[in-house]
Structure 1
């Protein structure tokens, strides 16, 4: 019988689902940003040669995610246009939930989901598995060159840094480098401090508090970026 999951239960059973995978693991989530705990679990499954399929639906995949996945021989990544489903399953359990992978362990969000076990609800589990396979079939498996991704990222950062220099402010990447941090870690710190927030799509937005300390959001043909005072304390 299906089990209802609240926010904390969804996080707990998702971690257990990944840990308990013996043959296969399917992770379907529109927004893909893996935290260290998820990466640790997937690295362990990769060492055990478990077949892992990850399907996401938004094209703004961070180069760091691609770089990490390219090191894992048993992880296959696919892109599915117009994906909105969130489904996570191994050979015996399935979670259908509002939880995106980037929200894992963010207990401040209000999530709901259901846990389906094959031995309890075989027909429902089978239907979920078949639909997951259909999504995988219509998805494009990625063969991305990391060098191409790095080149594009550097070009964007260099252009944005050039624009920032003209305004006597630093982009997030330059401010992060100044403090010997990764850009993603800097953005996480600014979320904690209340300078930025994440919307439902996983995008960073400048808050009123961020504006008050001099933060700005700019757009160019290369995309959006944040500007910060060089003297801003981290």
Structure 2
């Protein structure tokens, strides 16, 4: 269940979101200022192999701070004038807070927050993740890179691509609805590919190697194994497409292929 935090607890847990992350950190704040302490935390995370997704909603970011953020390939920076949320999360925890990042670490400010654990309250955590993903997909197109929060970079380097599909319109054209979800806890191949930083073509090739799909006379279909892991095959206006469980264990499939 959610845990209430006062000002001191908010600051402590916020730093933990960054220092305890192993894959990614998402920072959403309407106001953004990169002071010395926040820069130290982000730099430490980058050294530990963490990728940062940052969104702000008020154009008060100093040019020097923006240039520093954009100089880091491990940071994706987005602007959206509609953002008023203050939300900070990694792959295990989430902090919903009154604390904005324009005056972070100023001790005199009174803050109130709620802290969520993916393990202890998975439903609430996943609800936040879906809203965060939607925020980024709907962010200003000149800044946006479509992504999904909960991806591990487990595909081989030669299977990965640097650029995630560039817009929500691309995903929608591949039968992804406005929420990026197909319903029932399943996602389209395009969203799963974006989640794992690869292309649909490469992911389908991997599924064939893993025995989830098969091809005959130019037609791709699910195997019994593909059905067993929760795959579905459907037909749409642009042809057949596949749905997959959003928590499909790609890491285990990689091990099986190897």
Same-fold status (TM-score > 0.5): yes
- Residues 176-214 of structure 1 show CA distances to partners (whole Å, capped at 9, x for unaligned) of xxxxxxxxxxxxxxxxxxxxxxxxxxxxxxxxxxxxxxx
Q: Contact between 2:70 and 2:76, CA under 8 Å: does it hold in 1?
A: no
Contact 2:57 2:84 (C-alpha < 8 Å) held by counterparts: yes
Question: Quick check: 2:22–2:49 contact (8 Å CA) kept in 1?
Answer: no
Q: Hey, what's the Cα distance between the residues in 2 that align with 1:97 and 1:10?
A: 8
Give me the CA root mean square deviation: 1.4
Contiguous gaps of at least 5 residues in structure 1: 144-234
Secondary structure at the aligned position of 1:4 is classed as: strand
Q: Provide the residue aligned with 1:142 in structure 2.
A: 143
What does residue 114 of structure 1 align with? 114
Structure 2 residue 35 is matched with structure 1 residue 51: no
| 3-state SS, counterpart of residue 58 of structure 2 | coil
Normalized against structure 1, the TM-score is what?
Answer: 0.59
> C-alpha distance in 2, partners of 1:60/1:109?
20
Gaps of 5+ in 2: 145-258
| Superposition map of 1:11-26 within 5 A | 11-26=11-26
* Runs of 4+ in structure 1 over 3 Å off: none
Q: Are 1:43 and 1:72, in contact at CA under 8 Å, matched by a contact in 2?
A: no
Give me the whole-angstrom Cα distance separating, in 1, the residues matched to 2:28 and 2:90: 12
1:132 is paired with a residue whose SS is helix
Worse overlay, 113-122 or 67-76: 67-76
Q: Per-residue deviation at 1:92?
A: 0.2
Relative contact order: is structure 1 or structure 2 higher (C-alpha 8 Å, sep ≥ 6)?
A: 1
Give the corresponding residue for 1:100.
100
Task: Give the whole-Å Cα distance in 1 for the aligned partners of 2:81 and 2:139.
Answer: 7
Equivalenced residue count is 143
Q: How does 1:140-219 map to 2 (within 5 A)?
A: 140=140, 142=143
Q: Normalized per residue, which structure has more helix?
A: 1
Query: Who is 1:229 aligned against?
Result: none
